[in-house]
Amino acid sequence: MKICMIGSGYVGLVSGACFSDLGNMVTCVDVNKEIIEKLNRGIIPIYEPGLQELVVRNLKKKRLFFSTDISSSIKKSDIIFICVGTPTKNNKAELKYVFNVVKSIKSNLNRYKIIVTKSTVPVTTGDKIQNMLESSKNKNKFDVVSNPEFLREGEALRDFQFPDRVVIGTSSKKANKIMKRLYLPLIKKGGRYFHTSRRSAELIKYASNAFLATKITFINEIANLCEKSNIDVKEIAIGMGLDERIGGRFLRAGPAYGGSCFPKDTRALVATGRMFNTNLSVVKSVINSNDKRSNLLLNKISKIMNNKIKNKNITFLGVTFKPGTDDMRESSSLKMIPALLRKGACVNYYEPTGKKKEFKSKNVNYFENVKDACKSADLIIIHTEWNEFKQLNFKKITKKRNFKVYDLRNLYSTSEMKKNKISYFSIGR
């Protein structure tokens, strides 16, 4: 099939490359010329394991193309995926990028096409897109389908190629048949194809993300209780997770959830609730609890340091919101590092995906390896759960005698740390 992905970020690029690998002719479009120039040379602008090889392979096979020419890319395609960002604006999903794309589609609708929203968009967005495209000239020339994306950064290729489910929202039999054909190779591998209404598909995505954010927030609050009652939250998570109705995933206590999806999607869902006069009080309180979490951890840091943060060297191991990605959007480090700087700390950090331009203060230093970043540390904060932070010999990597470790990911055993006489603090233990 001839496919056009509009927006070549995490979602558009990964799904475009994967669709081309399944034998489709795919053009990934972006307004950002620099991204497209790089991609045409096989250079990947984001960090995503395995993506480089996949893109280069399909570029060579001449079934994956990158372009800034939105008009011709739309005209030559049968299925147009909208994959642009839907960031938060005034606590709602900002849809101007989506609607700009729809305007381009409208002026290039030369024959029947399926217009698919892969971007996460609020309930009724598909209806609005349909209204925008409708005209006497465009009769029977399009169907608007919702096909939310569930991939996770860091595991995006595997998630796309082996999905738990493919959700397709449309009332058009024709569009459903074509979408099912497109996804058939993935369904054959065990992915469940779920055909539903367009509005349902839109809400499934938000409800799923809000539920996962709720699970994380729930265990984070239980961790707060564990810290005060001398209980290990890891044992609570195991005990809870063994109940199949609950399941153990997303029950890992840690810092506030971040990333490009949960913070914005929970807010957008509350806004959808407002639109339909429905009070989503659980989601609201999840947002509220998560917003407060970085401050709670900062207070703990003050306590660990006996309220002496000024002129102390604090090292962050990892600054992204999770391992396997270079995405900094809404990472808790963006709140924690500036707050520590305001208190007079000197922050050093090591980040496996490289230097981050978000930290510009003269009191923030990037190091290219764990050892150099930790050498002068008074406090080491394990912020992101990269594998390379899981077996560190703290006494060897730091020269300070009275250094402390604050492990926000519970990577180490408290008893081992005690045995090694390391002043070690973690979450919910």
Ligand X SMILES: NC(=O)c1ccc[n+]([C@@H]2O[C@H](COP(=O)([O-])OP(=O)(O)OC[C@H]3O[C@@H](n4cnc5c(N)ncnc54)[C@H](O)[C@@H]3O)[C@@H](O)[C@H]2O)c1
Catalytic residue numbers read 261
**Closer Cβ to ligand X, 96 or 310, answer by number:** 96
- Footprint of ligand X on 49-108 (CB under 6 A): 70, 83-86, 97, 100-101
Distance CA 17, CA 187 (A): 18
Of 149, 160, 161, 258, give the one whose Cα is nearest residue 201.
149
Provide the mask over 98-137, with x wherever binding to ligand X is found by CB under 6 A and - wherever it is not. Answer: --xx-----------------xx-----------------
Binding ligand X by CB under 6 A: which of 17, 29, 167, 287? 29
Instruction: Please state at what angle helix 96-106 crosses helix 125-133, rounded to 10 degrees.
Output: 30
**Residue 51, H or E segment:** helix 51-60
Is 6 a binding residue for ligand X by CB under 6 A? The answer is yes
CB of 321 to ligand X, least distance (A): 10
Q: What is the dihedral of CA 123, 125, 126, 131, to 10 degrees?
A: 130
Place of tokens 């082996």: 162
Q: Which residue is nearest to ligand X (CB)?
A: 9
**Residue 144, H or E segment:** strand 142-146
- Is residue 205 classed as helix, strand or coil in its secondary structure? helix
Q: What is the dihedral of CA 340, 343, 344, 348, to 10 degrees?
A: -10
383 touches 408 (CB < 8 A): yes
If phi > 0 it is left, if psi is from -120 to 50 it is alpha, else beta; for residue 124 that is: left
Binding ligand X by CB under 6 A: which of 3, 4, 7, 297? 7
**Closer Cβ to ligand X, 6 or 280, answer by number:** 6
**Closer Cβ to ligand X, 34 or 244, answer by number:** 34
CB of 156 to ligand X, least distance (A): 7
CB of 38 to ligand X, least distance (A): 11
210 touches 265 (CB < 8 A): yes
On the 0-12 / 13-18 / 19+ scale of CB atoms within 10 A, 130 is middle
CB of 231 to ligand X, least distance (A): 33
- Footprint of ligand X on 209-248 (CB under 6 A): none
Local structure of residue 148 (DSSP, 8 states): -
**Residue 167, H or E segment:** strand 165-169
Local structure of residue 280 (DSSP, 8 states): -
Which alpha helices (H) appear in 230-332, and where do they start and end? 233-241, 262-275, 281-304
Place of tokens 């595991």: 155
Tokens encoding 189: 């591998």
Distance CA 416, CA 382 (A): 17
**Closer Cβ to ligand X, 266 or 313, answer by number:** 266
- Footprint of ligand X on 148-167 (CB under 6 A): 149, 151, 153
Is 10 a binding residue for ligand X by CB under 6 A? The answer is yes
**Closer Cβ to ligand X, 100 or 414, answer by number:** 100
CB of 298 to ligand X, least distance (A): 27
Binding ligand X by CB under 6 A: which of 24, 214, 260, 294? 260
**Closer Cβ to ligand X, 3 or 84, answer by number:** 84
CB of 104 to ligand X, least distance (A): 7
CB of 390 to ligand X, least distance (A): 24
Stretch touching ligand X by CB under 6 A, among 4-12, 18-26, 188-196, 364-372: 4-12
Cα-based distances in Å from 391 to 325, 394, 422:
20, 9, 14
**Closer Cβ to ligand X, 119 or 161, answer by number:** 119
Is 207 a binding residue for ligand X by CB under 6 A? The answer is no
CB of 310 to ligand X, least distance (A): 38
Stretch touching ligand X by CB under 6 A, among 24-32, 180-188, 227-235, 356-364: 24-32
Stretch touching ligand X by CB under 6 A, among 10-18, 106-114, 298-306, 378-386: 10-18
Collect all residues with Cβ–Cβ distance below 8 Å to 296 and sequence separation of at least 6.
224
- Is residue 72 classed as helix, strand or coil in its secondary structure? helix
Q: How many residues bind ligand X (CB under 6 A)?
A: 27
Interacting residues with ligand X (CB under 6 A): 6-12, 29-32, 35, 70, 83-86, 97, 100-101, 119-120, 149, 151, 153, 260-261
